[in-house]
């Protein structure tokens, strides 16, 4: 997946943009690529695993209360932090869609340059 670059056909949009003011009654031919299914499968499995991690607190609640001195409300808050933690990322996704990643988002370009510099510096030594 990451070792080979995508083909020219994979970079083309799946659906052609519709012209303004025209109604096209012809069916649109779409393409399906195995690489996209692989990415969808991987993200779905990661989401499933993340949900399983947060759901494991329920069965061990009594043990965690006795072993670590947690209260039931502490464990309820721990379980909530997983799903609640996704909400701030909505802001970042909106910023990337509207402002772009490198050109207009404040500080992103300098951070990426800093990471690249230190990564190259570590690889040379």
Give the span between the Cα atoms of 30 and 16, in whole angstroms. 9
Is residue 101 located within the same domain as residue 78?
no
98 & 80 share domain: no
**Do 65 and 72 meet the contact criterion of CB atoms below 8 Å apart?**
yes
Helix (H) or strand (E) holding 72: helix 72-84
How far apart (Å, rounded) are the C-alpha atoms in residues 63 and 54?
Answer: 16
Q: How confident is the model at residue 1 (pLDDT cuts 50, 70, 90)?
A: very low
Band the pLDDT of 23: cuts 50, 70, 90: low
Residue 9 reports pLDDT greater than 80:
no
The per-residue pLDDT for range 82-113, each reduced to its tens digit, is 777 778 878 877 877 777 665 555 566 666 77
- Domain tally for the chain? 2
- What pLDDT was estimated at residue 121? 61
Which residue segment(s) compose the domain that 105 sits in? 86-125
pLDDT, tens digit, 9 for 90 and up, residues 27-58 = 666 677 788 889 899 999 998 988 888 788 77
Whether residue 96 sits in one domain with residue 124: yes
Do 42 and 71 fall within a single domain?
yes
**Res. 3: pLDDT tops 60:** no
Contact 84, 50 (CB under 8 A): no
Same structural domain for residues 34 and 50? yes
Q: Whole-angstrom Cα distance, residue 18 to residue 79?
A: 45
């Amino acid at each position: 997946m990451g070792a080979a670059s995508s083909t020219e056909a994979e970079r083309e949009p799946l659906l052609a943009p519709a012209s303004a003011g025209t109604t096209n009654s012809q069916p649109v031919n779409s393409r399906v690529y195995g690489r996209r299914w692989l990415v969808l499968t991987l993200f779905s499995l990661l989401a499933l695993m993340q949900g399983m991690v947060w759901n494991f607190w329920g069965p061990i609640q009594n043990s965690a209360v006795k072993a670590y001195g947690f209260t039931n409300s502490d464990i309820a808050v721990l379980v909530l932090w997983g799903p609640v933690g996704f909400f701030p990322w909505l802001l970042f996704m909106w910023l990337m869609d509207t402002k772009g990643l490198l050109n207009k988002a404040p500080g992103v370009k300098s951070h990426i340059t800093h990471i690249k510099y230190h990564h190259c510096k570590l690889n040379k030594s």
